[in-house]
Chain A
Amino acid sequence: MPVLRLPKFGKPVKYAYITGRVRAMKTKLVPAEMYARMMSMDMSEIARYLEETQYKDEIDALSKDYSGVELIEHATFANMAKTFRKLERVSIDEPSFLILEYLRRWDVWNIKTLLRGKFYGASDTEIVKYFVPAGELSPEYLDELAKKDTIQDIISAFDGTDYASALAQYDGKNLATLENALDKLYYFRMERAVGGTLSVGGGLLLKYVRREIDIRNLITLFRMNKAGVDAAVIQENLIPGGKMHDELARMAGQPFGEFLRGLEGYPFWSSISDIASVDLDAVSRIEARLRAYLIRYAWALSNYHPLSILPVLGYMVSKETEVSNIRKIVRGKEAGLPAELIEEQLVVA
């Protein structure tokens, strides 16, 4: 387990370069008003627009192999992976350590993609397309794993790593337990790697991550309480480590109306108060609002700590959201969904 040993003096200065850089990178993100305009464009127009932005290199490189939705999807993923890897590459010491710790979520994503792909019998070339090699696992290693024949082969490739304990839960029937275990493992090992140090930056990262866990758990509660799932099952699905974990665990299994009343007064309530009602039709609308709240939270925190990991974190969350918004628009348009429905799913902070 890597340990942070950093001098106290001059610590914020270590962040000056990377925060300056991400603040410049933030100005290149797709502005929120463009999403509405993208809704009225067709696929080739969206691709052309993205070619004028930071996605140019990827669109150019991939346009000979793909077109339409596939082109945009792969270009945005490739660009996101490149951008995140760049952040990790151009930072040193504490920022680099913390960025990598955060980016391990993409290792979890890749492992999930790999297992899901194999589970449903996708070919290795299909699986490789959906990798986002932004974490520690290299693209070459992931390609190698994708070529393995069975899920068991992949699981045994992780023997001796931190992932082994979570992967051991695979029962051969469904992936849900395994995926949940991987998510829990990600947060657990972040707490262990970052929380064990006395670094100020690590504390700030954990402060954000705890709020993120709460929001994820809250979304789980919305979904499962709405569906009337049993309290014990819900509690099993909640990720431990959040700041409000005990309070949220108590809300599991409550009738939906009572659950909503219990949420009033929490800091995130104002973001969802106008749409959260007992006759709520789609939880995904709540989810979009809560994710937007999380982005605002990250940037608001970074105003208090301008020379810290938080602006970098804010940028990574914003970038991730941008890519998922673009994908929602193109996938939604391809499926012929009404514009209002797609707009509701977009996360705009």
Chain B
Amino acid sequence: MAIVADAGVLYGLLAVGAGLATGLAGIGAGVGEQGIGAAVVGVVAEEPGFLGKGLFLMLLPETLIIFGLAVSLILMFAWTPFSGIVTP
């Protein structure tokens, strides 16, 4: 019984870790984007032709989320430390 309860807690912690990986990466990207976004809007107000390049620059920090998301997916699905544990 004790083993089963521990597995549940572990699985829960794993889910929390996965959530943090994506969530914190998202916050980090947001912090990075606030400055870039503001600067891009400033430039586009003067030079509308800069919109395409500006959007590209603005989306660069988004790539960080992909790393976070990859870590989350690995935690949730690919890495299974409980493969030997019997769940109820």
| Interfacial residues of chain A within 3-30, with CB under 8 A of chain B in the complex | 10, 12-13, 16-21, 23-25, 27-28
> Is B70 among interface residues, defined by CB-CB distance under 8 A?
no
Task: Select B39's contact among A20, A25, A27, beta carbons within 8 Å.
Answer: A20
**Contact partners of A16 in chain B: CB under 8 A:** 34-39, 42
> Is A307 among interface residues, defined by CB-CB distance under 8 A?
yes
- The answer for the CA separation of A12 and B35 in the assembled complex, in Å, is 8
* Size bracket, chain B contacts: 10 to 19
**Contact partners of B50 in chain A: CB under 8 A:** 24
> Is B41 among interface residues, defined by CB-CB distance under 8 A?
yes
**Contact partners of A90 in chain B: CB under 8 A:** 45
**Contact partners of A28 in chain B: CB under 8 A:** 46
**Contact partners of A19 in chain B: CB under 8 A:** 39, 42
* Size bracket, chain A contacts: 10 to 19
Measured CB to CB, the nearest residue on chain B to A26 is: B46
> Is B71 among interface residues, defined by CB-CB distance under 8 A?
no
Task: Select A24's contact among B35, B37, B38, B43, beta carbons within 8 Å.
Answer: B43
Measured CB to CB, the nearest residue on chain A to B36 is: A16
- The answer for the CA separation of A18 and B43 in the assembled complex, in Å, is 9
Whether A21 pairs with B35 at a CB distance below 8 angstroms is: no
**Contact partners of A23 in chain B: CB under 8 A:** 43
Whether B46 pairs with A24 at a CB distance below 8 angstroms is: yes
Whether B35 pairs with A13 at a CB distance below 8 angstroms is: yes
- The answer for the CA separation of A17 and B41 in the assembled complex, in Å, is 7
Whether A17 pairs with B39 at a CB distance below 8 angstroms is: yes
> Is B76 among interface residues, defined by CB-CB distance under 8 A?
no
Whether B46 pairs with A18 at a CB distance below 8 angstroms is: no
Chain A residues at the B interface, C-beta cutoff of 8 Å: 10, 12-13, 16-21, 23-25, 27-28, 90, 307
| Inter-chain pairs besides A18-B42, A20-B40, 10 sampled, C-beta below 8 Å | A13-B35, A13-B38, A16-B35, A16-B38, A17-B38, A19-B39, A19-B42, A21-B45, A24-B43, A90-B45
Q: Can you report 30 A-B residue pairs in the complex whose CB atoms are below 8 A from each other?
A: A10-B34, A12-B35, A13-B35, A13-B38, A16-B34, A16-B36, A16-B37, A16-B39, A16-B42, A17-B38, A17-B39, A17-B41, A18-B42, A19-B39, A19-B42, A20-B38, A20-B39, A20-B40, A20-B43, A21-B42, A21-B43, A21-B45, A21-B46, A23-B43, A24-B43, A24-B45, A24-B46, A24-B50, A90-B45, A307-B35
